[in-house]
Amino acid sequence: MILKIGVALLFILAQLAQKTAFSAAEPPMLFEEDPSLLTTSIQVIVRRGSAMDPEDKAGLSNFLSRLMLRGTKNRSREAFQSTLERLGGALWVSTNHDTVVFSGKVIRENTAAFLKLVSECLVEPALNKQEFELLKREITSEISYSKNRNAQLVGWAFRRSFFESSPLERPVNGTLSTVKKIKHKDIQPSYRSHFHKNNLVFAVASPFKDTDIRKQILEMWNAFPDGRHVAPTVVHPKLSDRPLLIVVHKPATSTGSIVMGQPGIVANDPNRYALMLANFAFGSEAFSSRLFKVIRSDLGWTYAIHSTYHSLGSLSHQPSPFVIASTPSVEFTVKTLFKTWAMWKDFIENGSKQAEIGLGKESLIHSYPFEFDSAEKRLSYKIRHLLYEVPILSPDEYAKTLESITVDQIKKAVQKQHHPNRWVMAVLADKTVIEKQLDQEQKDLPDDKRLKIHKVLSPEEVIQ
Amino acid sequence: MKSCFLALATMFVMQMAMASSFEKVSEKIIFNGEKIFEYRLSNGLRILVLPRHQAKVLSYGIWFKVGSVDEKLDPKLKKTGLAHLFEHMMFRGTTKYPDPMFTELTSRMGAEGQNATTYYYRTNYFESIPSVELEKLMELESDRMRNLKIIKEGFEKEKGAVVGELRRHLDNPGSVAHDELMALAFEKAPFHWNVIGSEDEIRGFTLDEANYFYRTFYAPNNATIIAVGDIEPEKLVKLTVKYYGSMPAQELPTIAMPVEPEQEKERRKEVRHPQATSELLMMAYRIPPITSDEVVPLSLLSTHLSTGMEARLRKLLVDTGIAVSASGGPSSQPDVYLFSVRLTENRHADQALRVIDKELGSLQKAPISKEAFERALNQELLSLYSDISENASLGSFLGENLMLSGNYLRGFEIIESYRKTTSLDIQKAAAKYLRPENRSIVVVKPQGKTKRASQPPKGDKAP
């Protein structure tokens, strides 16, 4: 197999591999300079996320970070946002279990003024009581509104069962009951836990030389106190060897939503590439995977079906669950569930075919340039490398790594990582329809061999 | 007004059918110094190419000027949904490359983001590939444009997947609100019907209709290739001549869009939806087509109302606890200024409507401030710069502008129009178009607990 990647990529990868470390003198600062860019983008990554929120106040990290966008000590929310937006800038924040990430973008000519505002927002947030109350109402309304969003509901129900009794059990935004318990007096301590020198990583993609930007970032970083980074607790769910079926009861859906998951892998798992190839063949490739070919293309039961190791977002310190998600027409919901499960058992037992893996290798090797074809993507790769030790391989190394993996190694990696029956299955549909379909599909099985509904949740219970 | 069918001149079609030569139409420099080259083959196929050599990759798209509007108006079809169903069929294989070879081969070459979309006015197919794979991709794309195997088995299976897509759409209260709103706002124009069609229409399409649609609309003189990335224009043109040059031009139906009568009074409809747990308000004010100069101030008004934390609708509706989200702006098509408000639980659409009416009343009486205008303009710039930063999004940007207006540069030129616009223009446009008698309103409400609507299983075979 010939690798068809240009020399430019080799240069980019050499730059990527330059080590950026955590030190007492300056923060990790990652840069991508591209003179053709019309905007400057910044990410400030705070290495503390929702997994460290107090159990009864889940959603606190998300709450804090959104409150920080609502004014500074010197500017009201209106003055801050109005100034930012008049610059042609935008600043937003996203929280996950491991991190809080402030992301911003501005038209290039206003880069310096924009970075000053970002600094003001992070170093001197107002965190005032009035905005706290407004935001609390807003977040509560958003959580309540999730009852209208079936994909979100079934995802939360899955998460609750999969990560039961661990910090990852609750949604990043919290639930109605945990957000209710968040008080204004919780905000300042949370801010101090998140924002100290040893928790921050800065990443910038810009048309300009990094010298001036580096100076501004260093000034910002020096305004934070020292602190100790607390590594997140890594959660390893313990699942039963029999599938656990959860139903979110929503009457009158014409589509069922299915999320089924098993324990997955961390970013630097030694079997990362073997499992990536296995997943390509089984369910991740949009049109050529087994799941798509059989359940969508041949049977026509569902519009969407795919599998992923990235179910918690980008791979991280946490072994993100391996998830298969589909949205079959309601009359095919249980059929889709059983067919997917049967295909998985066959995959575990018999492995993948040489042709499937050959296709996977070619596809993944040839698409490797897309990991690096823009400044923002290169920056994203650098961040994942720094935070989660995602390996940075040259195109040759990447190709050699993938090509050296055999079908037998892939089968062994899948068998080591996975289990035919160790699933948490969450289904959103009318429970009476699901019950009837389960009876129909299992009528020839003895009672003790049947898949049974473990728990039925209402949408209200999911968000509580 | 009756829709009519006018044939193009036979001479023109014959000339097109002779094919395989090309002309360079233009070479334009856009505001950031990049160049866009335009060519046209003698069979009518248009080519746009924007070279960018930072990475050895490119995005390739083929756009057809056909969407759900065309099929509904075509006297040989008079239905909706085939344009979209057909988009699915294009992945079902040809004689040379039977299903699933197209997707396997493109996957093998490392294609990223491969997909297709259908809308009221156009259909597009796109992927990004390592540039060294361009010729193979063009062979595959041209093959499915000309030699698609439309057989009953694949057609019926694909209907099942599309019905699944439709049902997912219908489970979403927001999608249903949009469908109902367009049906209310347009009585004669084909925007009255949604793009995906009804379940009966989807299941009812015949192979003859599919073949007619394919042979008529997937013609070189109805298509544009757009490539952005690591490619020299001359090479792309040469390959296009090689793979698309022998395709004959087709006689395209010229269909007049029925003229929608002026709206004279407000229209309202209430819909109960079993999946809704709170209310949803959607409003459509009739406006000229998005390509009209008159819509420029309305687009800026949209940024003022809907973009960022300082957006007026956010402040008036979300910050006050009335809504979870709120936005308003002109649609690319249909020709409406669309408001969408997702209400907080136990709040009612009428409350949101009163707030919006009061704000629109203020906008019609006095111009927005200089600061608000500056904010809107710079947010438009940020949006434009983001849209064109990546090859795939720039390709899409050029394609949408071309399909809507016939001018692929419109998305850049509009920035100059924004700069020439004043706050007073925004005030005048709001007064002219955002009037209650010029709007339709749909409110979606939860169904309540009285109606049992779950669907029993309907047999055990896929269609």
Domain A21-149+157-222: CATH superfamily is: Metalloenzyme, LuxS/M16 peptidase-like (3.30.830.10)
Residue B265 contacts A, CB cutoff 8 Å? no
Query: A297–B307: do the CB atoms touch at under 8 Å?
Result: no
Query: A331–B458: do the CB atoms touch at under 8 Å?
Result: yes
Over the stretch A259-291, which tens digit does the pLDDT of each residue have? 999 999 988 889 999 999 999 999 998 888 999
Query: A301–B160: do the CB atoms touch at under 8 Å?
Result: yes
In B, which residues are within 8 Å of A304 by CB distance? 168
Residues of chain A with CATH 3.30.830.10: 21-149+157-222, 244-463
HEC secondary structure over chain B: CCCCEECCCHHHHHHHHHCCCEEEEEEEECCCCCEEEEEEECCCCEEEEEECCCCCEEEEEEEECCCHHHHHHCCCCCCCCHHHHHHHHCCCEECCCECCHHHHHHHHCCCEEEEEEECCCCEEEEEEEEHHHHHHHHHHHHHHHHCECCCHHHHHHHHHHHHHHHHHHHCCHHHHHHHHHHHHHCCCCHHHCCCCCCHHHHHHCCHHHHHHHHHHHCCHHHEEEEEEECCCHHHHHHHHHHHHCCCCCCCCCEECCCCCCCCCCCEEEEEEECCCCCCEEEEEEECCCCCCHHHHHHHHHHHHHHCCCCCHHHHHHHCCCCEEEEEEEECCCCCEEEEEEEECCCCCHHHHHHHHHHHHHHHHHCCCCHHHHHHHHHHHHHHHHHHCCCHHHHHHHHHHHHHHHCCCCHHHHHHHHHHHCCHHHHHHHHHHHCCHHHEEEEEEEECCCCCCCCCCCCCCCCC
Segments of chain A scoring below 70 in pLDDT: 1-24, 312-315
Query: A437–B321: do the CB atoms touch at under 8 Å?
Result: no
Closest CB to A370 among B112, B162, B371: B112
Q: Which of A366, A431, A439, A462 to mutate against chain B (most B CBs within 10 Å)? A: A366
Q: Which of A15, A148, A439 to mutate against chain B (most B CBs within 10 Å)? A: A148
Residue A136 contacts B, CB cutoff 8 Å? no
Residue A40 contacts B, CB cutoff 8 Å? no
- What is the value of ipTM here, to two decimals? 0.89
Residue B44 contacts A, CB cutoff 8 Å? no
Segments of chain B scoring below 70 in pLDDT: 1-20, 449-463
Residue A36 contacts B, CB cutoff 8 Å? yes
What pLDDT does A104 receive? 97
What pLDDT does A312 receive? 67
Residue A8 contacts B, CB cutoff 8 Å? yes
What pLDDT does A286 receive? 82
Q: What is the DSSP secondary-structure string of A209-226?
A: -HHHHHHHHHHHHHTSPP
Residues 312-341 on A with a CB inside 8 Å of B are 327-332, 335
End-to-end CA distance of chain B: 39
What pLDDT does A22 receive? 63
Closest CB to B165 among A303, A373, A437: A303
Query: B110–A432: do the CB atoms touch at under 8 Å?
Result: no
Query: A300–B133: do the CB atoms touch at under 8 Å?
Result: no
Residue of chain A nearest B388, judged by CA positions: A38
CA distance A348 to chain B (A): 23
Over the stretch B63-102, which tens digit does the pLDDT of each residue have? 999 999 999 889 999 889 999 999 999 999 999 999 989 9
- Whole-structure pTM value: 0.90
Could you tell me which CATH number the domain at A244-463 has? 3.30.830.10
